[in-house]
Amino acid sequence: MLGFIKRKAPLAACLALIAIGVPVQEVAAQESLEDSYEFLTLETQVVTASRRQETLRDAPVTVEVITREDIRASGASNVWDLLRFRAGMDVLEGRAQDSSKAIVSVRGFPQEKVSSLQVLLDGRSVYTPYMAGTYWADIPVSLGDIERIEIVRGPNSALYGSNSSLGVINIMTRKPAEKNQLEVSAGRGTLETNTYARVERAAAGQGWSLSHSYGMFDGFDTVYGQNGNDSVQRNVGNFRGYWKPSGRTSLEAFSGAIWTNAEAVHSLRSTDKISQDFQMLKWNHELGRGWSYEVDGSRNDRTETILPTRAGADFIRNYSYQAEGVLRGNWLDGAYQASAGAGYTYFSAESAQIFVGKGQQKSKIWRGFTHQSVRPVAPLVLSAAVSLEDSDLGGTQPAYQASAVYNPSVFFGLRALHARASTLPAFFRKSANFQPSAGVKVEGNSGLKPQKIRSTEIGLFSELLDRRLEGQVNLYYMSVFDMENTIVTHLPPPPPMVFSYDNANAAIARGLEAALKLHLRGKGSVSANYTREQITDAKGSAAVFRATPRHKFNLGGQALLGRGFSFSFNAGYKDGYLAYSDSRSQSLDIPAYWRLDARLSYVYKELELFVSGQNLLKQTHREFADGLGVPQSIFGGCSCRFGSR
């Protein structure tokens, strides 16, 4: 009992401080919401849609922006929960039999590794071709370092390469402030403990920031109330610096690392030890008359040790080198805009236990691309992008997209888009050769081809009441060809079951996305979105056509309550679906459920006290076929900032 009390003590203290309150000036909270509203009364700018800055209205693809204020108000403790209540998103607490802790997909097809979603961190890909997906829990970034997230829904392979067939998520970190300051936060809850510290220094023409976060997640229990072997300890460190030798030239440096000790939801109750580090340099130069170029280079190295396994221990190393150059410009006072670039990526995956007898797996990717847009008349913007990519994994793959955006008034606009994209197969599915258990063998298929996607969409967007009311509706139709399919062959022992892969399936996805948001003039906002998706496939596989919930509905809101208090919430409904675990070859019918997350905070000058809750409607519910229940959780903490204003 004493241990229980000690565990809850920091949370109880935070709750007490919030409940007691003191007479305060609500300046900081008011400024936060007013800054958020000012950001929106100005035309929202995005950079991911066309790889250059443009207004959200002129973007050739559907883009949603998650601001820093949205991140703070969400109460989320991980990146994937920031995406959970967004239109067109599928986010699940789904554990594979490795270190993968979450499933995130855009426009359907959720699975343990979503191969068609590109994820960027400050423009650098964190996607891994080893399993063809993103290890969300291992993205080397702290939530406190994130400035904004841009979500592109729909294909964008012409600009970001293969594996951007469903969309692109670009996580952008905070630039070092032009002042010296220190920021710290700490919290404790029923499931986790988090600490965060960030220091920033600035001088004329240069500055840097250094941050560290520590998280200890106790993990989910099984549906039977037993230890789920799901705990995680995580350290993340990041550095970002800039130097401006002249008014036209800047150099940015990024570096970071993550160290994780995680239990794996595995029949052998394994433990994963993961370490990852990256470095990136970006050089930007303004040429004048609206033209500029950017050159960047980066490396990433991730190692993972899993033990025990059937082989005793599995060691897996993935590393990559990336280099890219982009030229941007415009003519005729911005009526014609262009960007063009070329890039090279080297990927490698090594594991003597997974690729038995096949050695190091590697792929070189060469890619060139261009994007052009023209405004023939004031309300119309026509855009086109093409790319050509050549790789060891998928051969030569072209991609293209064309769009038209029509803005006849300041109140509404129309967007139409058609695109062709491709998705490269994973090293694992092409070359794996191992036995995870005595009766099972996994054999890759070296002849596996890239999946191909064609997508057409139309959308209506509007801004009313001096941009305080925003709305959008999108309809899309997407065809998937050469879709990857898992084959299970039963043979006489040993072994009796062999898992392999082919391109024998095809699918069609149809969807509707609708969203509405009302800003309350510095007092907060309310929002709602609805997504309807229907997927059919040629083989009639329930793991494909039933995996995506048919209906999803989300509500959200932020409110300034006065006397320094603010409140925010997100509520979401998800229709029933079939959760399929490829790593376990198991499926589970998940009934429809509601989820409610909320956050209450109190701000006095540079000090904030907060308490947040997740899954507040039920003690526990299931989201995936991993044997775990997602529990109700409460988290409380405080943050403070010191330094010059």
Asked if the model's pLDDT at residue 227 lies above 90, the reply is: no
Q: What pLDDT is attached to residue 164?
A: 95
Task: Choose the weakest-confidence range: 41-50, 356-365, 396-405, 588-597.
Answer: 41-50
pLDDT tens, position by position, 564-618: 999 999 999 999 999 999 888 889 999 999 999 999 999 999 999 999 999 999 9
pLDDT tens, position by position, 262-293: 887 665 677 889 999 999 999 999 999 899 99
Q: What pLDDT is attached to residue 42?
A: 58
User: Letter for the amino acid at 526?
Assistant: V
Asked if the model's pLDDT at residue 644 lies above 80, the reply is: no
3-state SS, one letter per residue, for 85-117: CCCCEEEECCCCCCCCCCEEEECCCCCCCCCCE
HSE at residue 113, side-chain half, CA atoms within 13 A, is 26
User: Letter for the amino acid at 71?
Assistant: I
Residue 5 banded pLDDT, cuts 50, 70, 90: very low
From residue 444, how far is each of 70, 352, 470, 506, 590 by CA, in Å?
42, 15, 48, 20, 30
pLDDT mean over 54-79 = 94
pLDDT mean over 155-180 = 94
Q: What pLDDT is attached to residue 607?
A: 97
pLDDT tens, position by position, 534-563: 999 999 999 999 999 999 999 999 999 999
pLDDT tens, position by position, 179-198: 899 999 999 999 999 999 99
**d(Cα 154, Cα 416) in Å, to the nearest integer?**
12
pLDDT tens, position by position, 297-337: 999 999 999 887 776 788 999 999 999 999 999 988 888 99
**d(Cα 77, Cα 146) in Å, to the nearest integer?**
12
Contact between 328 and 293 under an 8 Å Cβ cutoff? The reply is yes
Q: What pLDDT is attached to residue 4?
A: 34
Q: What pLDDT is attached to residue 455?
A: 98
Q: What pLDDT is attached to residue 490?
A: 84
pLDDT mean over 140-162 = 96
User: Letter for the amino acid at 95?
Assistant: R
pLDDT mean over 199-216 = 94
Residue 37 banded pLDDT, cuts 50, 70, 90: very low
pLDDT mean over 58-71 = 95
Exposed e or buried b per residue across 163-175, where buried means at least 16 C-beta atoms within 10 angstroms of its C-beta: bbbbbbbbbbbbe
pLDDT mean over 228-240 = 94
pLDDT tens, position by position, 453-485: 999 999 999 999 988 999 999 999 999 999 999
Percent of the chain with pLDDT over 90: 79
pLDDT mean over 353-374 = 95
Task: Choose the weakest-confidence range: 59-68, 98-107, 509-518, 558-567.
Answer: 98-107
The structure's pTM equals: 0.93
Residue 6 banded pLDDT, cuts 50, 70, 90: very low
Q: What pLDDT is attached to residue 585?
A: 84
**d(Cα 300, Cα 125) in Å, to the nearest integer?**
10
Q: What pLDDT is attached to residue 267?
A: 59
What is the average pLDDT value for the chain, to the nearest integer? 90
Q: What pLDDT is attached to residue 523?
A: 87
pLDDT mean over 107-122 = 94
The domain covering 2-178+193-558 belongs, at the CATH homologous superfamily level, to TonB-dependent receptor, beta-barrel domain (2.40.170.20)
Q: Is 338 exposed, middle or buried (0-12, 13-18, 19+ CB in 10 A)?
A: middle
Asked if the model's pLDDT at residue 243 lies above 90, the reply is: yes
In terms of Cα–Cα distance, which of 409, 470, 436 is closest to 582?
436
**d(Cα 24, Cα 582) in Å, to the nearest integer?**
54
pLDDT mean over 361-389 = 96
pLDDT tens, position by position, 120-146: 999 999 999 999 999 999 999 999 999
Instruction: Name the pairing type of β-strands 497-519 and 440-443.
Output: parallel
Asked if the model's pLDDT at residue 430 lies above 90, the reply is: yes
Alpha helices in 77-217 (DSSP H): 79-83, 157-160
| Domain definitions of the chain by residue range | 2-178+193-558
Asked if the model's pLDDT at residue 167 lies above 90, the reply is: yes
pLDDT mean over 80-108 = 92
Q: What is the DSSP string of 240-279?
A: EEEE-SSSSEEEEEEEEEEEEEEE--STT--EEEEEEEEE
